[in-house]
Amino acid sequence: MALRALIGCGLIWLSYAVLAQPAAFAQVPELRGSLTSRFAGELNGGDAQLAEILFEPELSGSWGANVSYTLIGRARFDAVDELEPGKPGAQAGARSAWNRRVFEGDDADFELREAYADIYAGDWFVRAGKQQVVWGQADGLRVLDQVNPLSFREFILGDFEDRRIPLWMLNIERPIGSVTAQFLWIPDTTYNEFPRQGAFAFTSTWSQPGIPATAQTVTLNPARRPERMLADSDIGLRLSGFSGGWDWSVNALYAFHDTPVAKRQTIAPGHVGITPTYYRSTLLGGSASNAFGKLTLRTEIGYQSRSAVLTRDASDADGVVISPEVSGVVGLDYQLDADTLLSTQVFASHRTRHGPKLATDRTTSTISLLGSREFYNDQLKLQFLLLQNINDGDGLLQVSVQRNLTDAVTLQLGADIFHGDRNAFYGQFDDRDRVWVAFEYGF
């Protein structure tokens, strides 16, 4: 009751703050967006992996000087249907009832990507609706950037902006002296979306629960997903500022982990049940970055109060070990000249509690190396990204070239190459190496 009263008072205050401003005529909405055609073929056997047409319109406008709105849609048609084959809507179990895609047959899906209003009331800024919130300084590897879940339709390939699943939330910011405070209330119980089958369905042993040798039958139960809008809400708070040349932030997020863990249960002698279960945790951390001439240093650290990992110890009651986890990343960006950037990152995580036969090492680390160069007045861009897991020796190499044919039309060519053990995170897709081409028209 107290939470509902607080929300009600907030809405009353918000309505007053907006309506009390001078009235003005609404501006004519602006329509823009993109139409993209993508094709990907696998190097192992030459089969088509993707043949997609993606339409993403964006409508924006304003009401007076204090309120603006943005609507972003997505319509996708994939003629190959190798990424999410099978029954349409099979991924809906990871999303809340009000954040799901609409499927038309096996080949097409439609989604309201983002829909939010920006409201300015004195020193207060409020963004209410379906949106993305980005925390942290890391590129490609997440420490603090845990607000929005991800789609693993194409594993971790593609930009975070396209892979994040926008959430319905209330995002409030206000400056307090030289510090900006941000508060997030997220009632949308949507989590990471994994394909159950297809080109990038997870197969590595670290993601598969251990089954006792005495088990004769195994039952996979529906995920135990939080669904209560208020009781299962996520809450976030960030303080950010600039001092002594450093951009910094202090972050806190009380939320459920976006990836469930397969919890084991002995139903009867010889009969084992597996239930994907979400665990709530508190994330505490911060980030800082500073430029020293051509060199930029980025740092980020996070502490999770509860992190779940699978164990293959048959004597363990539920096959899951819960432990606090500390993770961090240090990145160096070197701007060689106006057109050339080199960047490297070292990411590491450590669980303070360990157990026998865990699916992953107690301490894990990954390094990344990024390079990009632009030519012909930014009309041509070459880029590569290498991700290398130190523990298992597997990794991913991505190379691409982008050519701006006109102000509105872009051509991209690229390749995604996996390597390593089939039971490792990247190596599980060693047979999914691909080359791809994409045309994008922006309007």
319: pLDDT strictly greater than 90: no
Q: Provide mean pLDDT across the span 318-330.
A: 92
Q: Which residues contact 27 (CB under 8 A, 6 or more apart)?
A: 61, 62, 63
pLDDT class of 15 with cuts at 50, 70, 90: very low
374: pLDDT strictly greater than 60: yes
DSSP per residue over 184-209, as a string?
A: EEE------B--SSSTT----GGGS-
Q: Provide mean pLDDT across the span 103-107.
A: 89
Q: How far apart are CA 316 and CA 210, in angstroms?
A: 10
DSSP per residue over 35-53, as a string?
A: EEEEEEEETTT--EEEEEE
- Residue 15, domain member (yes or no): no
Q: Which residues contact 230 (CB under 8 A, 6 or more apart)?
A: 3, 4, 187
- Residue 10, domain member (yes or no): no
Q: Is 253 helix (H, G, I), strand (E, B) or coil?
A: strand
- Candidates 292, 326, 290, 332; CA nearest to 306 is 326
Higher pLDDT, 213 or 218: 218
Q: Is 247 helix (H, G, I), strand (E, B) or coil?
A: strand
- Residue 209, domain member (yes or no): yes
- Candidates 257, 122, 248, 251; CA nearest to 183 is 251
Residue 216 exposed, middle or buried by CB count within 10 Å (0-12, 13-18, 19+): exposed
Residue 4 exposed, middle or buried by CB count within 10 Å (0-12, 13-18, 19+): exposed
**Three-point CA angle 428, 367, 396, nearest 5°:** 30
Dump strand ranges (E) for 222-279. Answer: 234-243, 246-256, 261-268, 271-277
Q: Provide mean pLDDT across the span 360-379.
A: 94
pLDDT for the residue numbered 237: 98
Helices (H) then strands (E): counts for the chain? 2, 22
Q: Provide mean pLDDT across the span 134-153.
A: 91
The per-residue pLDDT of the chain, averaged, comes to: 89
- Candidates 181, 128, 136; CA nearest to 11 is 128
Rounded to two decimals, the pTM is 0.89
pLDDT for the residue numbered 7: 42
296: pLDDT strictly greater than 90: yes
Q: Which residues contact 13 (CB under 8 A, 6 or more apart)?
A: none
6: pLDDT strictly greater than 50: no
10: pLDDT strictly greater than 70: no
pLDDT class of 69 with cuts at 50, 70, 90: very high
Backbone dihedral angles phi then psi of residue 172, each to the nearest 5 degrees: -120, 130
DSSP per residue over 305-353, as a string?
A: EEEEEEB--TTSSSSEEEEEEEEEEEEEEEEEETTEEEEEEEEEEEESS
- Residue 17, domain member (yes or no): no
- Residue 394, domain member (yes or no): yes
pLDDT for the residue numbered 28: 83
334: pLDDT strictly greater than 80: yes
Measured between alpha carbons, how far is residue 353 from residues 142, 254, 391, 435 in Å? 21, 21, 18, 41
67: pLDDT strictly greater than 50: yes
- Residue 437, domain member (yes or no): yes
pLDDT for the residue numbered 315: 76
Share of the chain above pLDDT 70, in %: 93
73: pLDDT strictly greater than 60: yes
230: pLDDT strictly greater than 80: yes
- Residue 319, domain member (yes or no): yes
Higher pLDDT, 362 or 116: 116
Higher pLDDT, 214 or 177: 177
The CATH number given to whatever domain includes residue 39 is 2.40.160.100
Neighbours of 111 (CB within 10 A): 18
Q: Which residues contact 141 (CB under 8 A, 6 or more apart)?
A: 329, 345, 347, 366, 368, 387
Q: Provide mean pLDDT across the span 367-388.
A: 96
Neighbours of 94 (CB within 10 A): 23
- Residue 425, domain member (yes or no): yes
Q: How far apart are CA 24 and CA 205, in angstroms?
A: 60
Q: How far apart are CA 250 and CA 302, in angstroms?
A: 10
4: pLDDT strictly greater than 60: no
pLDDT for the residue numbered 388: 97
Window from 177-191, 298-312, 408-422 with minimum mean pLDDT:
298-312
Window from 290-294, 312-316, 409-413, 434-438 with minimum mean pLDDT:
312-316
Q: How far apart are CA 163 and CA 6, in angstroms?
A: 33
pLDDT for the residue numbered 1: 38
Window from 122-126, 354-358, 400-404 with minimum mean pLDDT:
354-358
Window from 62-76, 197-211, 362-376, 423-437 with minimum mean pLDDT:
197-211
| CA atoms within 13 A of residue 28's CA, in its CB half-sphere | 1
Domain that holds residue 142: 31-442
pLDDT for the residue numbered 12: 38
The answer to whether the CB of 241 falls within 8 A of the CB of 250 is no
**What is the tally of structural domains in the chain?**
1
